[in-house]
Amino acid sequence: MIRTAQNEVGDFLQRVSNDRLFLTDFTLHSIGIILLKLGEAQTFSRFVQDVLIDGAVRLVGLQPDDMTSIVDAAGKYQLDFDDAYQYAASGKFNFQIVSFDSDFDRTDRRRRQPDQVEPGTAS
């Protein structure tokens, strides 16, 4: 069977308790922008309900005084804004980055792919 990113994410979400998962406000807003642009407003509403309200995944965000951390990470690790935001949030909240994006491998925090996370270790 060929493993797809969708399969890996599905398995990850089955293995790891929602109360150990966090989503940045930047990611939420990005998902909203994309889905509404695609005419999928109801999908976005269901996502918010399923993941954040019913699913207990917690939303975190950075404040204006954290913006220097984003700029520093972007310069130091050659990250674009969205990756630098995730990097800065992971540092502020001491989270492990779980991503398919290899750009995080250039950083000192690195990343894990969803299939590399054991139950109870994703935070």
**Residue 122 pLDDT:** 46
Q: Which of 53, 109, 57, 64 is nearest to 86 (CA)?
A: 109
Q: Which regions of the chain are under pLDDT 70? A: 1-3, 5, 120-123
CB contact set of 104 (below 8 Å; sequence gap of 6+): 83, 86, 87, 97, 110, 111
**Residue 123 pLDDT:** 45
Same domain, 71 and 54: no
Asked whether residue 48 is assigned to any structural domain, the reply reads: yes
Q: 32: domain range?
A: 19-60
Q: State how many domains the chain has.
A: 2
Please state, in angstroms and rounded to a whole number, the distance separating the CA atoms of residues 105 and 110: 5
Asked whether residue 5 is assigned to any structural domain, the reply reads: no
**Residue 30 pLDDT:** 96
Same domain, 87 and 102: yes
